């Protein structure tokens, strides 16, 4: 097991042994005592406001069919490493039938359900894990994503703040929290959340991370011009005929540029000529992708910029917009968990040529 950011450990499993019990017919007095105990236990769950696990929330979704699961967290984690979320969910559900009070297994199932887009079902297990005492940064971050997807913005703000309190360097969580604060009318608070982080980066000699998001908030507050809000110093007017210039920011020796998928809000993707496709983590895929049944193309092994090899789900994106250039039917790979977003050849090869102007920090796209 490896530590997460800032030394915070992510969720892990506790192995537990089974205890075989002989089945015997109890005397009638034991039967009634047992019935009283069951009723008392149910009442205790009610007053703690815990959802009763009489019927799994997952089982109530009739349109969602899971494979038969193996009651093993080791098998579930193997499924996760292979990018097979339904397999992992089925194994964890089978495991929790035997160990319903395993806090970490409950939390891991909730996070997996969030990654798979099953937020209503995930919410049940987040509440269970929360009551069982789980308090890790990845748990809070996943909980916030599900609450936001369910329309509980206040709850999402609270959980994202809890995640950042544990690990302040979680940029995706910080950006999501700022968006949620803006939606609640707390724009100044959102601005301070991002500007303080960028100021600390620049003090350490790194480029700012939230430039465009800060600019959008300031524009919304009436403090910037449209040009300043976009952060696009290299306007299209400076480009020659048939050329598009896209303002970016330095990132690990190359350039990161804003990318909008299917009309969603732009996210920074790092240009990577060695990547065959546009690549993104599942942590970002939910709000970015609006996929139909024909968009999923299967699983494929991919190598990330850090050298890690993972199994990813391959989709065909209907629209990818970089700057003023929009391209349709772009192949994309979505891999488990969180990590870098890469703009690869499935987008770049659609142009006659492209280059990076390091002096002006722009991506040059030529028709």
- Indicate yes or no: pTM above 0.95: no
- Could you give the 3-state DSSP secondary structure of residue 320? strand
- Could you give the 3-state DSSP secondary structure of residue 346? helix
d(CA 91, CA 86): 9
**pLDDT, tens digit, for every residue of 220-276?**
887 543 343 344 443 433 556 678 889 888 876 788 899 988 888 888 999 988 888
Contact 191, 182 (CB under 8 A): no
Q: What is the pLDDT of residue 128?
A: 94
Q: For the packed helices 119-131 and 137-149, what is the interaxial angle rounded to 10 degrees?
A: 140
Residues 335, 338, 339: CA angle, nearest 5 degrees: 85
Q: What is the pLDDT of residue 273?
A: 84
SS3 of 186-225: the string is: CHHHHHHHHHHHHHHHHHCCCCCCCHHHHHHHHHHCCCCC
**pLDDT, tens digit, for every residue of 62-95?**
455 677 888 889 988 898 888 888 889 999 999 9
Report the 10 Å Cβ neighbour count for 270: 22
């Amino acid at each position: 097991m490896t530590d997460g950011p800032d030394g915070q450990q992510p969720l892990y499993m506790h192995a537990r042994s089974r205890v075989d019990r002989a089945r015997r017919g109890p005397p009638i007095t034991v039967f009634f005592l047992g019935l009283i105990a069951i009723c008392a236990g149910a009442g205790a769950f009610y007053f703690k406001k815990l959802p009763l696990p009489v019927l799994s929330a997952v089982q109530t979704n009739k349109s969602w069919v899971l494979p038969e699961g193996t009651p093993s967290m080791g098998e579930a984690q193997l499924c996760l490493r292979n990018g097979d979320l339904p397999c992992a969910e089925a194994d964890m559900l089978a495991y929790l039938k035997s160990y319903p009070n395993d806090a970490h297994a409950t939390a891991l199932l909730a996070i997996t359900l969030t990654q798979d887009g099953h937020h209503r079902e995930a919410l049940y297990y987040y509440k269970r894990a929360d009551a069982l005492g789980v308090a890790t940064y990845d748990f809070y971050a996943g909980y916030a994503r599900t609450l936001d997807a369910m329309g509980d913005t206040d709850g999402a703000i609270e959980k994202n703040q809890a995640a950042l309190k544990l690990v302040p360097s979680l940029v995706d969580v910080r950006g999501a929290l700022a968006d949620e604060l803006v939606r609640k009318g707390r724009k100044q608070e959102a601005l301070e959340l991002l500007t303080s982080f960028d100021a600390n980066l620049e003090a350490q000699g790194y480029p700012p991370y939230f430039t465009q998001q800060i600019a959008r908030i300031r524009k919304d507050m009436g403090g910037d011009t449209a040009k300043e809000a976009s952060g696009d110093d290299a306007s299209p007017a400076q480009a020659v005929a048939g050329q598009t210039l896209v303002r970016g920011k330095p990132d690990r020796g190359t350039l990161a540029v804003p990318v909008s998928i299917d009309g969603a809000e732009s996210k920074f993707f790092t240009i990577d000529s060695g990547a065959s496709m546009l690549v993104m983590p599942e942590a970002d895929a939910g709000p970015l992708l609006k996929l139909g049944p024909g968009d999923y193309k299967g699983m494929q092994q991919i190598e990330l910029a850090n050298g890690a090899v993972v199994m990813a789900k391959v989709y065909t994106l209907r629209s990818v917009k970089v700057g003023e250039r929009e391209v349709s039917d772009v192949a994309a790979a979505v891999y488990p968990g969180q990590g870098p977003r890469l703009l690869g050849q499935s987008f770049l090869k659609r142009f006659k040529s492209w280059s990076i102007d390091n002096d002006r920090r722009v991506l040059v796209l030529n028709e």
